[in-house]
Amino acid sequence: GIQKPAWLEALYKEKFFVACPIHENARKNEKNVCCLDCCTSICPHCVPSHRFHRLVQVRRYVYHDVVRLEDLEKLIDCSNVQAYTINSAKVVFIKKRPQNRQFKGSGNYCTSCDRSLQEPYIHCSLGCKVDFVLKHYKDLSPYIRPCTTLQLSPDFFVPHDMGDDDMTYETPHSTIVDLDEPMCWSFGSSGSETMSVGYTGFVRKKRSGLYVCGRLANRVSEEDMATSISRRKGIPHRSPLC
């Protein structure tokens, strides 16, 4: 039969978004990364063991596996495959999503599964394009691109703690820590206590895109906390009355 690259088979056949058997007792152990060199699906806790391998993050969109177009384009020619936008990134479906149509109207339809598409696309997924190329040209090699390194995006969260306790980052002798993801502070309800920190902290509010830089000192005062909180909430500044 016609051979496909092993990583392509893995991307197509591996199960993602299931619990990782190696880290079954850990939090955030959903397998959402494909290691292209080992041809297997891994969870965030596995990533440090594969850090020198080519890794691609698999995401979910309308209950199907997708990969960022930017990542796939480094591996294979994705021209004529319809991309979709999620979280400001273009993604491509990995597998076919067949859609039976008894009566075809005018317009574009996928070459492999009859799904309606926008102009000028003719494939609705990477799998559909691969099947089309192999059926008509019998050779996928002109479409495969040489790619020796492929790393996860900087915002991908890699937990440091392998246990099932709360994840902690301990650096007693350093004031600046190279964190994989900004840490979020949780402020107590009393508001009377000050908080000790030993790293550069960032307060991150999802969707707002606003980052408030924490102090490098070892203590944060009530006033600093109040200022940070009010900045996060975006209290409006009133103009003076004339």
Q: Indicate the SS3 state at residue 210.
A: strand
Residue 144 has what pLDDT?
96
Nearest C-alpha neighbor of 216 from the set 228, 235, 203, 198: 198
List residues bridging with 93 in a β-sheet: 66
Token representation of residue 87: 């979280």
Is 221 within a domain?
Answer: no
Total-model pTM: 0.65
Q: Residue 60 — very low, low, confident or very high, per pLDDT cuts 50/70/90?
A: very high
The average pLDDT across 102-111 equals 76
Is 197 within a domain?
Answer: no
CA atoms within a 13 Å half-sphere pointing along the CA-CB vector of 116: 7
Q: Residue 235 — very low, low, confident or very high, per pLDDT cuts 50/70/90?
A: low
Residue 149 has what pLDDT?
95
For the cut 80, the answer to whether the pLDDT of residue 62 exceeds it is: yes
Asked if 50 and 61 touch (Cβ cutoff 8 Å), the reply is: no
Is 170 within a domain?
Answer: no
Is 99 within a domain?
Answer: yes
Q: How many CB atoms lie within 10 A of CB 34?
A: 25
Token representation of residue 242: 């004339």
Sign of the four-CA dihedral 88, 92, 94, 95: positive
Domain holding 39, by residue range, is 6-153
Higher pLDDT, 219 or 75: 75
Q: Residue 108 — very low, low, confident or very high, per pLDDT cuts 50/70/90?
A: confident
Distance CA 78, CA 61 (A): 18
Is 216 within a domain?
Answer: no
For the cut 90, the answer to whether the pLDDT of residue 23 exceeds it is: yes
Element (H, E) at 232: helix 222-233
Nearest C-alpha neighbor of 43 from the set 64, 62, 21: 21
The average confidence (pLDDT) of the chain is 75
Give every CB contact of residue 241 below 8 A, 6+ residues apart in sequence.
Answer: none
For the cut 60, the answer to whether the pLDDT of residue 219 exceeds it is: no
Token representation of residue 184: 């979020």
Nearest C-alpha neighbor of 64 from the set 108, 4, 126, 152: 126
For the cut 80, the answer to whether the pLDDT of residue 212 exceeds it is: no
Is 35 within a domain?
Answer: yes
Is 79 within a domain?
Answer: yes
Number of domains in the chain: 1
Nearest C-alpha neighbor of 33 from the set 59, 4, 57, 49: 57
Token representation of residue 229: 């909180």
Residue 126 has what pLDDT?
97
Distance CA 184, CA 214 (A): 10
Is 212 within a domain?
Answer: no
